[in-house]
Chain A
Amino acid sequence: MRSRIKLIAAFFLAFFVLLVIRLAYWQLVKGGDLSSQARNQYESQNVISAPRGNILVNDKTWLVARGEAFLVFAEVPKIKLSPKEIANKLAPFFLENADDKITLLQEIDRIETLLKKKGLVWVPLKQKIAPDVKANIEALNIEGIGFERVEDRIYPEASAAAHLLGFVGKDVEGKDIGYFGLEGYYNSALTGKPGMNKEEKDAKGRTLTIGDTQEISAIGGVDLLTNVDKTIQLLIERKLKEGVEKYGASGGTIIVMNPQNGAILAMTSYPSFDPRTYWEYGDEYFKNPAISFTFEPGSVFKIVVMASALDAGVVKPDTKCDICTGAYKVDKYLIETWNRKYHPDSTMQDVIVNSDNVGMVYVANKMGADLLYDYLNKFGLGRLTGIDLQGEVTPKLREKGTWNVVDLATASFGQGIAVTPMQMIKAAAIIANGGLNVTPKVVNKLMGKDWEEEIKTVDGERVISKQAAKEMTAIMVEAARNGESKWTSLQGFKVAGKTGTAQIPISGHYDAEKTIASFIGFAPADNPKFIMFVSLKEPKTSTWASETAAPLWYSIARELFTYLGIQPEN
């Protein structure tokens, strides 16, 4: 009897030891894994995405707005239908044009391949589908297909102002990031900071109030209130497209700015891209020509050189040119006028009105290379303008002290020197506003939930005297009225303007037929409300700016006068 009791006791003891060992195994060895598995069952952790900021025009309506889209995914274990059946059902919703049979078959094949991949539990099928498409897919009630809300951008004006805006793409980690334009320049401010939400749930997915709950709120990106005027923006886009078609140009750029404070009212270039479908375009479309296209400006540049000479006091508006009797030889080159007509004893006003290259050589000779260099530097040439857009470039000025007589002569009429359209309009804006430096500025304010901050620039430094600016403006008014583009000018309005027909340098020489035609002008001349730069690349109907860029400028100005309330002089 006793031995039986001992046996049972030993059995229980052994069982107890085994139990302790097993428990120790679950607790000490497997404890971590089991704990995390359990946590996964009752804990849920979500990233709260920070909404990206809006980009607003000056009346606080939207150019780009934050919106929502959905990621379509498949939870493979929950799928009841075959991959082929699911692919057949979903593919038409994933395509813009489901009528294209080849594309449809390719999409079906893509989805099926994704669903057949082994070892995957959660498979993303399509990025950023619209809410109405999501509703249509939901109506199909396909088990195992789910949706995740993601940030998207809404463009109420479609592809308008694409170069100005840039676009939102993905970085190497698959996160949204802004490229080019405002999206690129203000990416950090627009992005905000994502938050996190952690809570414990019961078996039915209800939140446990006694559970561990943590929430870190997302900080939304700030809104950008720009100086852009939507009416003017849409107007110049329409006009540029019409102008490019009418004059057979290969492209063009228009910038409208307030010369008093540098506010960019509108900016466009053609050809452009659609930020909603940016991946369909090559990289060359993304660069904004207004800030990245460098060109030899030609005669529009004469206003900068003449304004410098007037400020330096080396010439006066009525100073007479004593070399304007004919073509002028500089080193081994012969400088001619554009129409080979010469005007002896031209005043400086006549030199600009007739766009006289020889007259400009006279002015440059009076100044000398070093003084001209100093003025060009003060006008901001050879440096970035500081505009708040990603992708600005600048051609360098030839170094001071290295200019020879030919460099000086050609620079005086805008050859052998390169600028961007933005640099050119900035320099002309200095003349328009009475001689003060301005920094082109797209964004006026950053706007948070309960705060706003104005974007300030350090401006106001005097570049040329008020008197010199006034004299130059008067000369430009005469140039607009009586220059080669007088046929297209608007009677009664006091416009200060200048045409420029620049030749395109190709491998060491200038192309005989291809030009860049431009016109820069401001109005009303005495107290300008806007300054506008128009350029057309390689126009075919005429190579001259007076017959292409100038009429385009005036056709836009005609509408701007009404819109901005600019009245005729008398």
Chain B
Amino acid sequence: MIRKQTKKSVLKPIIWITGLFLLVLAVFTMIESVTTGAELTKILSDKAKYTQENQDLANDLIKSSSLNQIGDKADILGYVKPTNIVYVAKESGFAAKLP
């Protein structure tokens, strides 16, 4: 009879502690899960933002590579195409004659 009572009194706190531990674990896991979800959403939104930024920069680069635009700018800046090309012949080397 005494042994039975002792057994009961030992089992009760173990059940309580285990239950409490599981409860804390469940709450913790849920918080972690929600936090990670929020972080993931933020990462995805950042990714979309950076992709957009990347695309905008690529667009600028593409536009600035346009030869038509560069040609127009060159005209405005006063660059002109040479009308008369002068070709200069390279002089052939010679060896000095010995006296």
A binding-site residues for B, Cβ under 8 Å: 61-62, 65, 67-68, 131, 154, 156-158, 160, 202, 205-210, 230-231, 234, 561-562, 567-568, 570
Residue of A nearest to B58 (CB): A65
B40 and A207 contacting across the interface, CB-CB below 8 Å: yes
What residues of B have a CB within 8 angstroms of the CB of A570 in the complex?
Answer: 89
With A65-B58, A154-B59, A156-B63 in contact, is A207–B44 under 8 Å at CB?
yes
Chain A min CB distance to B57 (Å):
12
For the complex, what is the distance from the CA of A561 to the CA of B85, rounded to whole Å?
A: 10
Q: In the complex, what distance in Å separates the CA atom of A65 from the CA atom of B56? A: 13
- Contacts A206-B34, A234-B71 aside, 15 further interface pairs with beta carbons under 8 A come to A61-B65, A65-B58, A67-B59, A154-B59, A156-B62, A156-B63, A156-B65, A156-B66, A157-B67, A160-B68, A206-B40, A208-B33, A209-B40, A234-B67, A570-B89
Q: How far is A209 from B36 in the complex, measured between Cα atoms in Å? A: 7
- Which A residues touch B56, using CB under 8 A? 131
Task: Please indicate the chain A residues that have their CB under 8 angstroms from the CB of B34 in the complex.
Answer: 202, 206
Q: Check A562/B59 contact, CB under 8 A, given A209-B33, A209-B40.
A: no
12 A-B residue pairs with CB within 8 Å:
A62-B62, A62-B65, A131-B56, A206-B34, A206-B37, A207-B37, A207-B44, A209-B37, A210-B33, A234-B68, A562-B85, A570-B89
Chain B residues lying within 8 Å of A209, measured Cβ to Cβ, are 33, 36-37, 40
- CB of A206 within 8 A of CB of B38, answer yes
Q: Which residues of B does A touch, CB under 8 Å?
A: 33-34, 36-38, 40-41, 44, 55-56, 58-59, 62-63, 65-69, 71, 82, 85, 87, 89
Indicate if the CB atoms of A568 and B62 lie closer than 8 Å.
no
In angstroms, Cα B41 to Cα A209, docked, is 10
**Chain A residue with minimal CB distance to B48?**
A149
Which one of A67, A206, A561 contacts B41 once the chains associate, using CB atoms below 8 Å? A206
B88 to chain A, nearest CB (A): 10
**Taking the nearest CB of chain B, how far is it from the CB of A138, in angstroms?**
13
Distance between Cα atoms of A160 and B65 in the complex (Å): 14
Asked if A567 and B87 make an inter-chain contact with CB atoms under 8 angstroms apart, the answer reads yes
Would you list the 8 A-B pairs with minimal beta carbon distance, nearest first? A156-B66, A61-B65, A209-B36, A206-B41, A65-B62, A207-B40, A206-B37, A209-B37
A83 to B18, CA, bound (A): 62
CA distance A133 to B59 in the complex (A): 15
Partner of A202, one of B37, B63, B66: B37
A217, chain B: closest CB distance, angstroms: 13
Interface centre among B34, B58, B62 (most CB of A within 10 A): B62
Contacts of B63 in A (CB 8 A): 156
- Residues on A with C-beta less than 8 A from B71 are 234
Which residues of B are found within 8 Å of A202, using beta-carbon distances? Answer: 34, 37
Inter-chain contacts of B58 with A (CB < 8 A): 65
Q: Please tell me if the beta carbons of B67 and A207 are within 8 angstroms of each other in the complex.
A: no
Bound complex: CA A208 to CA B38 (Å): 9
Q: Which residue of A lies closest to B38 (CB)?
A: A206
Q: Which residue of B has the minimal Cβ distance to A233?
A: B67
Question: Which residue of chain B lies nearest to A156 when distances are taken between CB atoms in the complex?
Answer: B66
Give the CA-CA distance A68 to B62 in the complex, in Å: 13
A158 CA / B62 CA spacing, docked (Å): 12
* Contact B62–A230 (Cβ < 8 Å): no
Question: With the chains together, A570 CA to B87 CA distance in Å?
Answer: 10
B69: chain A residues at CB < 8 Å are 156
Please indicate the chain B residues that have their CB under 8 angstroms from the CB of A210 in the complex. 33
The CA-CA distance from A158 to B66 in the complex, in Å, is: 9
Q: How far is the CA of A411 from the CA of B33 in the complex (A)?
A: 82
Cα A207 to Cα B36 in complex, Å, equals 9
Residues of A within 8 A of B55 (CB): 67-68
